[in-house]
């Protein structure tokens, strides 16, 4: 096919400009690899006059992304605006209604509205591609939908937010407290406009919800995910974990069990010599376990102009080649509505707490654990000066529900100086 594939790009931030650069600089290579020219015909952004470091004069300009999505000279609508409501959602819906294919990097939109978007796209014969929405430059969606299509996937897990991984590794490497590294990350521009999207685990949770849908053939159910951010991780936790041979990561885990779909994005301890434990800085990693392939590890940059734009262009190339399959790997009507299940598979837990320095305080904590069936593997009382004594406990394998019950009893005991921190020790 020699007819050009015509693109309309909405959103000209870092990623949008990166896509423009690749399409222009690699025009001949892309045509060779797809069998047809790929060209940009129109663009849209909030400000036309902003200096983006690349000329956009040769493209038609639309102030309204919905108008861009409806243009007759646009075959594929590229949505790089972001947000789960508003212009991004309106424009994607308009593009699908007009029978156009869509490429997006918008994990929040798909995590909240993926089922409806997938159904409407399939009704109109359109495809929606979103490799850039998960783990930046890592082709994990392509791996699940294509390379691993012959596998029954048992578990998907990984580190999917580079900002959180930067904060946790920087705390350990520099011996700095959370608040200081958070401020540093903010000054470097690593945080979202709403930082809680990053440090609260929401951004990474969106990504995990999309991977779980593809891996297990279920409807996207971000609203049923267990979420816990890294805000309560102290430098003391980082150091204590290191003493035991572990690193702390914001780890996403999804698995389909007999009880239902487990999805959690929470801080965990992982062995320091494991692939996840060795992950530093803003790098992402996704681990996929399947019955035929066993375990594969995908590692790479999780954000940034080049890696994310590379993923967008990869999707554009698939559309140019005529690669067409349902949004989540199987038809939207066949995606099952999985029963949400809280993660209750047994694992050791790390508990850190501060006890009032009074007789019998430690005995009350041990009693609370014993009454809920939580067995202590290791216990250590740290040196202290003052009225509160820091205590570290590592349990034998137990269920999170039992840990929660034990914490509730501790909080009623009157001996806690602060709420305990409880982190799962994950086998990877």
Determine contact, residues 218/337, Cβ cutoff 8 Å: yes
55 Cβ neighbours under 8 A, 6+ residues apart: none
End-to-end CA distance of the chain: 46
| Bridge partners of residue 39, in order along the sequence | 6
Distances (CA, A) of 118 to 95, 283, 329: 13, 29, 10
In sequence order, the 6+-apart residues with CB closer than 8 A to the CB of 327 are 114, 117, 118, 121, 122, 127, 128, 130
Describe the crossing of helices 202-216 and 107-123 by its angle, rounded to 10 degrees: 30
- Residue 192, both tokens: 């979202």
d(CA 428, CA 425): 10
Rounded to 5 degrees, φ, ψ at 297 are -125, 125
CB atoms within 10 A of CB 330: 17
CA distance 160 to 285: 7
DSSP state of 228: -
Residue 175, helix vs strand vs coil: coil
Question: Of 89, 100, 207, 247, which one is the catalytic site residue?
Answer: 207
Please report where in the chains the tokens 């909405």 appear, as a residue.
10
Output the DSSP codes for 393-421: EEE-SB-HHHHHHHHHHHHHTT-BSSPPE
Catalytic, 397? Answer no
Is the distance from CB of 330 to CB of 403 less than 8 angstroms?
no
CA atoms of 304 and 361, how far apart (whole Å): 49
Beta-carbon count within 10 A of 28 CB: 9
The catalytic site residues sit at: 207
């Amino acid at each position: 096919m020699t007819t050009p594939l015509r693109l309309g790009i909405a959103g000209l931030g870092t990623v949008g400009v990166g896509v423009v650069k690749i399409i222009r600089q690699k025009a001949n290579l892309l045509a060779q690899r797809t069998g047809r020219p790929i060209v940009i015909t129109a663009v849209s952004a909030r400000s036309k006059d902003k200096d983006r470091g690349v000329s956009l004069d040769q493209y038609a300009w639309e102030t309204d992304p919905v108008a861009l999505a409806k243009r007759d000279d646009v075959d594929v609508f590229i949505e790089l605006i972001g947000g789960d409501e508003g212009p991004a959602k309106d424009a994607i819906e308009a593009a699908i209604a007009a029978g156009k294919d869509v490429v997006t990097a918008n994990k929040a939109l798909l995590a909240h509205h993926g089922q409806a978007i997938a159904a409407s796209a399939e009704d109109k014969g359109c495809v929606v591609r979103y490799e850039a929405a998960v783990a930046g430059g890592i082709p994990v969606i392509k791996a699940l939908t294509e390379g691993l299509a012959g596998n029954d996937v048992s578990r998907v897990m990984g580190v999917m937010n580079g900002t959180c991984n930067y904060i946790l590794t920087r705390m350990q490497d520099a011996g700095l407290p959370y608040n200081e590294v958070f401020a540093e990350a903010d000054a470097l521009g690593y945080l979202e406009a709403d930082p809680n999207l990053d440090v609260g685990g929401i951004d990474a949770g969106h990504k995990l919800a999309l991977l779980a849908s593809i891996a297990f053939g279920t409807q996207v159910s971000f609203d049923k995910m267990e979420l816990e951010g890294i805000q309560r991780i102290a430098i003391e936790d980082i150091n204590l974990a290191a003493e035991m041979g572990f690193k702390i990561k914001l780890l996403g885990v999804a698995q389909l069990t007999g009880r239902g779909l487990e999805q959690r994005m929470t801080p965990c301890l992982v062995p320091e010599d494991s692939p996840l434990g060795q992950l530093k800085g803003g790098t992402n990693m996704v681990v996929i376990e399947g019955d035929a392939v066993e375990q594969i590890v995908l590692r790479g940059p999780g954000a940034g102009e080049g890696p994310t734009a590379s993923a967008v262009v990869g999707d554009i190339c698939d559309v140019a080649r005529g690669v067409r399959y349902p949004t989540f790997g199987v038809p939207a009507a066949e995606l099952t509505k999985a029963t949400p299940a809280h993660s209750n598979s047994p694992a050791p837990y790390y508990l850190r707490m501060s006890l009032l320095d009074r007789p019998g305080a430690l005995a009350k904590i041990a009693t609370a654990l014993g009454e809920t069936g939580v067995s202590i593997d290791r216990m250590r009382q740290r040196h202290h000066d003052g009225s509160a004594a820091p205590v570290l406990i590592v349990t034998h394998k137990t269920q999170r529900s039992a840990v929660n019950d034990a914490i509730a009893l501790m909080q009623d005991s009157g001996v806690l100086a602060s709420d305990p921190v409880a982190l799962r020790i994950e086998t990877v």
